[in-house]
Structure 1
Amino acid sequence: MTARRKATGIALVGIAPLALTALAAGPAAAHGSMTDPVSRVSACYAEGPESPRSAACKAAVAASGVQAFYDWNAVNIANAAGKSKEIIPDGKLCSAGNDKYKGLDLPRADWPSTAMKAGGHTFRYKGTAPHKGSFELYITKDGYDPTKPLKWSDLEAKPFVNVTDPKMENGDYVFDGKVPARTGRHLIYSIWQRSDSPEAFYTCSDVVFGKGGGSAAGGSAQTADPAPSASAPTDTQIAAGAGKSSVEHHGHGDADSHTQAGAAAPSAGADDPALAAPGDANAPQPNGGGSKPVDGTRLAETGGDSSTAPLAVGGAAVLAVGAAFLFATSRRKAARHRG
């Protein structure tokens, strides 16, 4: 075997694993938020991040900034892995412990709300980048006070809706559930846990039981509800705002990191490696924790990086083409040599 043929063989052996690794590093992305009943972040986005109408959304934008609401469908933790109750602190459920969305945690009784009644209800969750996974919906207990920070103990221990891989209609996940009986203002909390990734998404939807919905008297059975009825963002609004989002909104099959600058990790126990401190590389990080993983394992866990993964896939394609060219060239030269 000539030195050139040996070099070609070594190149092919080295290229193949690199190509396969790069191709495996870019799974599809997921984004979304509840639109029926409308989540806080969706309602404020629909009002317009630059000039929201309701007092609650004005306060939320003042606390979080405009960009958080253009990124309305990315309230997430990249490495939740089913441990949401362990890694999201009390008082930070609506933001999922992410400082970027801290305005969603404001305790107040005038958040835009959706009229709700006990019994059957069809829920809708906008999936701007769909993925397989499960949805859990929790409702606040009797006596819930919206003027106090939301704690896990304010929610019923078990979800009243638990559905896996619901159908999709016109870009919405659609599923039915039976809403428990309540009076006045309450909150429905959702966890969308992907099954193909540790990533999870979270929403808080304010609801009012009784006549008049969002403008009815209600509150925590004692507090008047001056909030307007919440509206979900329209497809036109979503399309118009996509250009101002700092989160990549690729469709199914494209890579996306959900990485945001300045994202803060929720507090977690140091004894469990999966719940490491925010500074630890293994810690669960909302929206990627402001970090950009570069190795294939981390990309696969978080959904990839919007710049690194496409580059890896493109590089793999180039490498594969180059390998094929080298292999063909080698065979032609070998054939000429034998002739």
Structure 2
Amino acid sequence: MTLGRPIRTAALLAGIPLAAALLTAAPAGAHGSMGEPISRVAACYQEGPENPQSDVCKRLVEQNGTQPLYDWHEVNIANADGRHREIIPDGQLCSAGRAKYSALDTPGAWHTTTLPTSGTHTFAYTAAVPHRGYFELYVTKDGWDQSKRPGWGDLEPEPFLRVDRPRVRNGMYHLTGELPQGKSGQHLIYAIWQRTDSPEAFYSCSDVDFGGTGASAAAFEATEEDYGDAAEHAAHGGHGADANAEAGADDGGDAALVSASEGSAADAGASAPDTGHGTHAAHAAAAGPSDGSVVTGLFLTAFAVMAAAAAYLGVRRRRGTTGEHRAR
């Protein structure tokens, strides 16, 4: 008996769900942004790219188009490799020096999250695709307010929180640590997510009010639809997109808080290239640990079908052998 056809059929059956798992696990270009306190780009996306409500978000769409909001999870530099101060121009921190997101740097009444003045706090960072790396959170010096463009000189020299290889739980990185000491009133938290399996890094700006009593901006927790919006909108010729090649790979690990003095950025320097990163489908298989993720279910399904395919081959082989014996 010839087994070529059943082998090809079994391989195809096993490959379909695995391919689906890879594609679903890694939406093209989808990574993340600070969800609590909500980042500037996520807050404008949450308002609605096609119908922004606040003046700052309306200005963003007028200046950059709607595509940056659909791509809220892609404020990145492909070749950062820890050289953040060297490659991001002063005054362009929130956009990471990318023209596509330039309106994020402009002064204005951005959505603001109220935070306590002291104590332990858990920050939440949305993550469509987990990557091995670390997070550093910086806060502005006293005297900064939203009438100023955030510059490197406006940040405290060291991060007040660093978290290495946090785990992803339900699509979120949870970064727990002490709030910066002695801060009150209007400030900005600058988050850097530096991958260690790639030179790629991601950036976000979150406006906060330490000890504030006013209304606090709603946190942002992305759904699968929020990541899918970008691909769907780009397929229909979304506005304001820049020409970026996209790169990436995935992994996670155990969370650990380490000294804030580690991994400080280099001196300020040259302008940042307006580049993104490359395809992510091939990297989803290495994504790790991700609790409560749809990815787990997809891979389990894929492996189950592969096992069924193997069993199918075994049955066909036995039947073929039996048929040969009967023929004799």
TM-score normalised by the shorter chain: which range applies? 0.5 to 0.7
Local SS of the residue matching 1:52? coil
Alignment correspondent of 1:203: 204
**2:112 aligned with 1:113, yes or no?**
yes
Alignment match, 2:232 = 244
Contact 2:141 2:156 in 1 (8 A): yes
2:74 is matched with: 74
Residues 53/40 of structure 1: CA separation in 2 closer, same or farther (3 Å cut):
same
1:277 Cα offset (Å): 8.0
- 1:295-314 equivalences under 5 Å are 302=277, 304-305=278-279
Describe the superposition over 1:207-261 as per-residue Cα deviations: whole angstroms up to 9, x where unpaired: 0122434x3xxxxxxxxxxxx72441542651562443549xxxxxxxxxxxx63
- Secondary structure of 2:114 counterpart: strand
TM-score by length of 1: 0.61
Query: Using the alignment, how far apart are the partners of 1:230 and 1:62 within structure 2?
Result: 24
2:85 is matched with: 85
| Alpha-carbon distance in 1 for matches of 2:280, 2:123 | 30
Residue aligning to 2:11? none
1:150 is paired with a residue whose SS is coil
| 1:156 alignment counterpart | 156
Distance, in Å, in 1 between the alignment partners of 2:234 and 2:135 is 25
CA apart distance, 1:119:
1.9
Distance 1:37 1:277 in 2: 29
Higher relative contact order (CA 8 A, sep 6+): 2
**Residue correspondence of structure 1 range 1-339 to structure 2 within 5 A:** 31-108=31-108, 110-117=109-116, 118-180=118-180, 181-213=182-214, 215=215, 229-235=217-223, 238=226, 241-246=229-234, 261-262=242-243, 285-288=273-276, 302=277, 304-305=278-279
Q: Structure 1: how far apart are the matches of 2:61 and 2:194? A: 27
Which whole-Å CA distance do the structure 2 matches of 1:131 and 1:170 have between them?
15
User: Unaligned regions of 5+ residues in structure 1, if any?
Assistant: 1-27, 216-227, 248-259, 265-274, 279-283, 289-301, 310-339
Contact 2:67 2:230 in 1 (8 A): no
**What is the count of residue pairs matched by the alignment?**
229
Tell me, in whole angstroms, the C-alpha distance in 2 between the residues paired with 1:76 and 1:130.
15
Task: Determine helix, strand or coil for the equivalent of 2:96.
Answer: coil
**Kindly tell me: are residues 41 and 306 of structure 1, through their superposed partners in 2, closer, same or farther at Cα, counting changes over 3 Å?**
same
Secondary structure in 2 matching 1:44: helix
Distance 1:285 1:62, change over 3 A: same
Q: Using the TM superposition, give the Cα deviation of residue 138 of structure 1 relative to its aligned residue in structure 2, in angstroms.
A: 0.0
In 2, distance between residues paired with 1:177 and 1:115?
17
Distance 1:142 1:128 in 2: 34
Cα 1:241–1:212 change in 2 (3 A) is farther
Structure 2 CA distance, aligned partners of 1:144 and 1:207?
11
Deviation per CA, 1:254-300: give whole Å up to 9, x if none.
xxxxxx63469xxxxxxxxxx9988xxxxx64433xxxxxxxxxxxx
Cα distance change, pair 211–146 in 1 and its aligned pair in 2 (3 A): closer
TM-score for both structures, normalised by structure 2? 0.63
Which residue is 2:294 aligned to? Answer: none
Letter in 2 for 1:229: A
Q: Shift of residue 308 of structure 1?
A: 11
Residue of structure 2 equivalent to 1:16: none
How far did 1:154 drift?
0.4
Residue pair 2:105, 2:150 contacting (<8 A) in 1 also: yes
